[in-house]
Amino acid sequence: MSQETEIISLKHLLTIESLSNQEVMGLIKRAQAFKEGASSRLSQTEPYYVANLFFENSTRTHKSFEVAERKLGIEVIPFEVSTSSINKGESLYDTVLTLSALGISACVIRHSEEEYYNELIQSPTIRSSIINGGDGSGQHPTQCLLDMMTIYEEFGSFDHLSIAIVGDINHSRVAKSNMQLLKRLGATLYFSGPEDWYTEEYSVYGEYLPLDDLLPKVDVIMLLRIQHERHHSDEVFSKESYHAHYGLTIERAKLLPKHGIIMHPAPVNRDVELADGLVESLQSRIVQQMTNGVFMRMAILEAILEGKVQ
């Protein structure tokens, strides 16, 4: 596949399973091309309008979409939930219906409701494309794709890689997107973390092991943020206890192979999921993940807007 000639066109981006392996690799190659300085293929004669609707807090996803949109020359239409008609009781559907009627080409949406997008894409009237910026504990396809880009940059392939996903798996939309795609791309998966935060449904993707047992086996360890906002208030645990039992401590990190890398979608709870001193260590790719987020989202936006003109 040539990154110079391959053109990926998408109507929406909602889940990772909606993408073929060819589309995934096309987006990775295009994001790499943007990182190396490639110009946008979008027509500069007609303006594109995009709105970012974030109903849950976000720094990396929200702001990297904004940077990606501005780098592509897209008109970013400001939208703040706190000052919108949502506060007058307007539904998500009617909000997107309005933005579509105003000529917004695409809406990037993060919402607490899983699969919020179904009624939007089934609408006979809404014409805006939908990019899922995270739906509850469902999926986070754009984070998944930037994670794949980061791994591909490091190893050049997914075949025969061993990858561990560790932590709050039940509540992580990143984990669910990543386990589906990594398995499909040929990686061997392991899981670890509190057993109460893991269910057997994930065993079709990989094996659950104690953290100390899997660390020497893996090329990549992907740590997950504890999603306090999705836990019941009666679940009590201390950050010190979590770090000691399930976190990547300085001592545990020594069990990783020398070529092994550390990833985390952030925000990081330092000294909980991993030791403070590992966040910016030589084996960490956490900052690179954040940087790659801009270029992957440029590739996604270009593919969506390319799809609008065909």
227 is in an annotated binding site: no
- Per the CB < 8 A criterion, the answer to whether 158 and 151 are in contact is yes
Does 44 show up as a binding residue in the annotation? no
Cα end-to-end span (Å), the chain: 21
Q: Is 61 annotated as a binding residue?
A: yes
Residue 199 or 5, more confident: 199
Does 142 appear as a known binding residue? no
Binding residue per annotation — 60? yes
Does 104 have pLDDT greater than 80? yes
Q: Is 297 annotated as a binding residue?
A: no
Is 180 annotated in a binding site? The answer is: no
Q: Is 143 annotated as a binding residue?
A: yes
pLDDT score of 82: 86
Q: CA separation (Å) from 277 to 215, 259, 269? A: 18, 18, 12
- The mean predicted confidence, pLDDT, of the chain is 93
pLDDT tens figures, 115-160: 999 999 999 999 999 999 999 989 999 999 999 999 999 999 999 9
Would you tell me the crossing angle of helices 21-35 and 141-155 to the nearest 10 degrees? 70
Is 124 annotated as belonging to a binding site? no
266 annotated as ligand-binding = yes
Alpha helices in the chain (DSSP H): 21-35, 60-71, 92-101, 118-121, 141-155, 173-184, 211-214, 239-246, 250-253, 286-308
